[in-house]
Structure 1
Amino acid sequence: MLEHIAEHSRRPEIVLLHDPVPFGALNVLDEVPGEEMEERLLFRAQPETRRFALQHRAFAEAIAGAGFTCRYLGELVGDSACFGIAGSDPNLMFTRDAAITLPWAPDVYLPAHMAKPLRGAEVVVLSTALEALGLQRVEWRGSDDAYLEGGDVVPFSRGGNRCLLVGYARRSTLKAVRHLREALVPYLADEIFAIELAPWRMNLDGGLLPVADDVVVAHPPHRPHPAPGADSSEQRAGRPLVRDLAAASSEGG
């Protein structure tokens, strides 16, 4: 077991990327009308695909320029049947969502369980790629409605404890957090904190991401306009509700 460290304090051995250009993912974005973008591809708006491609390339170059090893999914699993299905899906670019790795246990990974059926193939692709790199799968899910996206999981260190911050709302469920606690504590984690997100927040890492022991990158905790269909109880300035899972374990999922 490694020293108990946070995600931000361990240098990754490999950064997994998906290049959307050679597999036609950006062409898919161009072909879908803007008003159908969220329903069909889960994008809130139609991106400028040329700019998208340039920014993704610059992002990859910045990672490599900082001395990290980049590996592409097409290189690792491009010949697999699962990649043939998912390679042209623009969502595959968000590789963090489909699997979770732990900085203190670099030889294992946790597969995500996507709430959106469209994204199910991503989990298969990332699992295949990580296993090709030698990581072992940790099963955690106890029910079909325990949904979890990697973007809602932030490994952290609190007083030397291996801690997971897990957001739940639109894409992940509190039931999934409870299953994580049962599967990981005390062997692969010491503490798990469930953070209730505002109904308009997509993932935890988009609103709160520690980058040092005393620094976090945070999105303003409010929304200027109410989310469609949300009542006043859902518009409480986006202040997260942190659940004590031990105390809440007897509640329904």
Structure 2
Amino acid sequence: MNASVSQFTKTDAEAALAEVREVQQGFASSEDGVVAAVDADVPSAEQVEAFRARAQKQRQRGKRDLERRHSGVASVLKTVVLNERVIGSSFQRYFSSIENGIYVIGRRGEIFVGEAAAAKIVEKIEDMLESISQELVSEEEAIKIQYEVASTATGFVKPDYIGAAAEHEVQIRTRSGLKAVGLFMRYDALLQKVQAMYWNGHIEDTYVQDIELRCKRQFQKLFNFIRSSINGMYRKGTAVKSAAPAGSAAALVSEGAQAEAA
């Protein structure tokens, strides 16, 4: 048995399972069918309404979770202001679950899947964040040059916002969560420049919509991956707990230990 895994007590394991369960509930309003409904060429009225209802539920829960504070944890408090409606909505829907999931996977993952497997999940999340960042870089560089030239022209219109789409002070407990916040803010800044270019006739509205859709899909993909990882951890934890003898201190850690030994 891996030394670090063997040090977990029954109390540790039960606390970990409860923590994973709490985070899992934050993902409960998301279903794989959402993507199919959105991607369909001609979604039905029922699908559209179901998607809107689910998105609203995600936003409501997400906004509540953004207000939560966790004592006794090294963290960063950051004020996030997002002007663009689509970016603000995506942030409210996805960020809290993403950050909570990252935190719990890093803190509790090895109990359920072993240290190596948990590290691979964390690495995959980092790769997904880096992929979003790299795609943003190419868009940012392209629009920056166009914007700098266009904005010096006489009569250039710079649209403004009468209020932010989303403004929250959030507690961030992970470096990856901090990266995710930065990506939302970069998307918002990019889209503001894209909107200005559209207002001045330099790009088509379809390009604006493409940036919006790309942002939503990228963060939904990250959200879904973390959700699947959390669900897998919880299933393994409950399966091992139910199969183990009552009172067994190894009930929830045995499977993670086996994964490490394999």
- What range is the shorter-chain TM-score in? under 0.3
Q: Which has the higher contact order (CA 8 A, sep 6+)?
A: 2
Greater fraction of residues in helix = 2
TM value normalised by structure 1: 0.27
TM value normalised by structure 2: 0.26
Larger radius of gyration, structure 1 or 2?
Answer: 2
Greater fraction of residues in strand = 1
